[in-house]
């Protein structure tokens, strides 16, 4: 819409955002012979005064997505990558503070973990002595995530993980449920409970003045609480396990006010071996792909506001 056409539009532009997605950056830091890796996938999303580019194609307010990509790589040099969260904070502050039309920046980051390759000859009893200095193997377990949002005043940091597959081979039951004419499920008093954990937790840090969490340490401890709560819970339903996982995090992490889970119930069906004259005493399971139960919920500190959006999957 050009300045000289003030008549109302019958078709309006609503929420909009743009940026460069999935910038793969690997940062090596040298400490003598010993190297350290940060391996990130960074997605930038900017919004603000962007009506013109949609209505008329004028790019005057548009910092190219190519520039946002360049900024990711330049900042990896200028600021280093202390943590995914800290790196995202640098980026978000930069875009909002340096370009007037940009009002909000949201940085999403996936982080892939690496561990050092064990060397053959170092004595195992000196921790660290048996590790390569610059040779690594990708850990390959969960993907760490974070999302940094900044509107020029307030910060929202939502970190998390995905792809973390866990299983309890016992201590899980499912019975006493509602039923209707379409219910055929048999009650289970000892079943496998397996899921692939996706979790996002919101830190209560919102501004520059307050002391920032130690992002690296907080991640490791939160991940540990999730795993231990999963392992420790005698489960009557995946919803109960989910709540216990959230509860453990909120109770133990003062820096986190809210956590949301998306937990697929990865069904392991006991195979019927009767036709072959065999008894299946909770020994042989078929691991099914689809369909799967999908249990999603938010757990939050009393008095906190629910901010993490409901849908963490595209299904």
Would you name the residues annotated as active-site residues? Answer: 20, 65, 267
Instruction: Using alpha carbons, select from 49, 155, 43 the residue that is nearest to residue 102.
Output: 49
Per CB under 8 A, the list member of 49, 117, 210, 220 interacting with its own copies is 117
Residue 231 in tokens: 């392992």
* Nearest approach, Cβ of residue 70 and its own copies (Å): 4
Neighbours of 272 (CB within 10 A): 11
Whether residue 151 contacts residue 158, with contact meaning beta carbons closer than 8 Å, is answered with no
Give Cβ neighbours of residue 149 (< 8 Å, ≥ 6 apart).
92, 104, 105, 106, 107, 155, 156, 157, 158
The reply on whether position 195 binds its own copies by CB under 8 A is: no
Which residue, 204 or 304, is less far from its own copies as judged by CB?
304
Residue 236 binds to its own copies (criterion: CB under 8 A): yes
Nearer to its own copies (CB atom), residue 207 or residue 277? 277
Give me the torsion for CA of 173, 179, 181, 186, rounded to 10°. 10
User: Which residue lies nearer to its own copies by CB, 89 or 256?
Assistant: 256
Phi-psi region of 185 (alpha: psi -120 to 50; beta: other; left: phi over 0): beta
DSSP-derived letter for residue 172 is B
Neighbour-count burial of 68, counting CB atoms closer than 10 A to its CB (0-12 exposed, 13-18 middle, 19+ buried): buried
Nearer to its own copies, 152 or 224 (CB): 224
Provide the 3-class DSSP secondary structure of residue 124.
coil
Minimum distance from CB of 123 to its own copies (Å)?
16
CB of 238 to its own copies, least distance (A): 8
Which of positions 76-115 make contact with its own copies (CB under 8 A)? 76-78, 98-99, 101, 108, 110, 114
Q: Which of 229, 231, 238 is nearest to 293 (CA)?
A: 238
Site for its own copies in 10-69 (CB under 8 A): 10-30, 35, 37, 39, 43, 45, 50, 53-67, 69
Residue 204 touches its own copies, criterion: CB under 8 A: no
# residues near its own copies by CB under 8 A: 152
User: Which positions from 159 through 178 interact with its own copies, judged by CB under 8 A?
Assistant: 163-171, 174-178
Rounded to a whole number of angstroms, the minimum distance from the CB of residue 19 to its own copies is 6
User: By CB under 8 A, is residue 182 in contact with its own copies?
Assistant: yes
Q: Residues 208, 216, 251, 254: which binds its own copies (CB under 8 A)? A: 251
Member of 49, 118, 152, 216 binding its own copies (CB under 8 A): 118
Query: Two tokens at 147?
Result: 């999302």
Query: Least distance (Å) from its own copies to the CB of residue 223?
Result: 10
Taking the C-alpha atoms of residue 294 and residue 16, their distance in angstroms, rounded to an integer, is: 30
Tokens of 289: 């792909």
Which of positions 121-160 make contact with its own copies (CB under 8 A)? 132, 134-142
CB of 10 to its own copies, least distance (A): 5
Distance CA 155, CA 134 (A): 36
Q: How far apart are CA 281 and CA 273, in angstroms?
A: 10
By C-beta, is 53 or 212 nearer to its own copies? 53
Q: According to the binding rule CB under 8 A, does residue 296 interact with its own copies?
A: yes
């Amino acid at each position: 819409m050009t300045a000289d056409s003030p008549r109302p539009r019958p078709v309006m532009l609503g929420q909009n955002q743009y940026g460069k997605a999935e910038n793969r950056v690997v940062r090596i830091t040298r400490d003598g012979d010993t190297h350290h890796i940060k391996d990130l996938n960074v997605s930038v999303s900017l919004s603000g005064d962007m009506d013109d580019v949609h209505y008329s194609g004028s790019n005057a307010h548009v910092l190219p997505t190519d520039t946002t990509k360049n900024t990711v790589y330049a900042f990896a040099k200028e600021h280093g990558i202390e943590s995914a969260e800290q790196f995202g904070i640098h980026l978000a502050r930069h875009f909002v503070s340096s370009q007037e039309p940009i009002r909000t920046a949201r940085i999403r980051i996936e982080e892939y973990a690496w561990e050092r390759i064990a060397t053959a000859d170092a004595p195992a009893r000196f921790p660290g002595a048996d590790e390569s200095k610059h040779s690594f193997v990708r850990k390959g377990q969960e993907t760490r995530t974070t999302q940094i949002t900044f509107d020029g005043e307030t910060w929202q940091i939502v970190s998390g993980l995905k792809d973390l597959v866990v299983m309890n081979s016992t201590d899980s039951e499912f019975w006493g449920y509602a039923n209707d004419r379409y219910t055929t499920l048999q009650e289970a008093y000892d079943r496998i409970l397996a899921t692939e954990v996706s979790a996002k937790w919101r830190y209560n840090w919102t501004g520059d003045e307050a002391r920032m969490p130690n992002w690296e340490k907080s991640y490791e401890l939160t991940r540990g609480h999730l795993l231990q709560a999963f392992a420790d819970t005698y489960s009557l339903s995946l919803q109960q396990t989910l709540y216990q996982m959230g509860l453990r995090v909120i109770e133990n992490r003062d820096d986190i006010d809210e956590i949301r889970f998306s937990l697929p119930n990865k069904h392991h069906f006991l195979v019927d071996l009767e036709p072959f004259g065999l008894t299946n005493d909770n020994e042989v399971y078929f691991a099914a792909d689809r369909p799967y139960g999908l249990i999603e919920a938010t757990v939050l500190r009393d008095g906190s506001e629910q901010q993490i959006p409901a849908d963490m999957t595209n299904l």
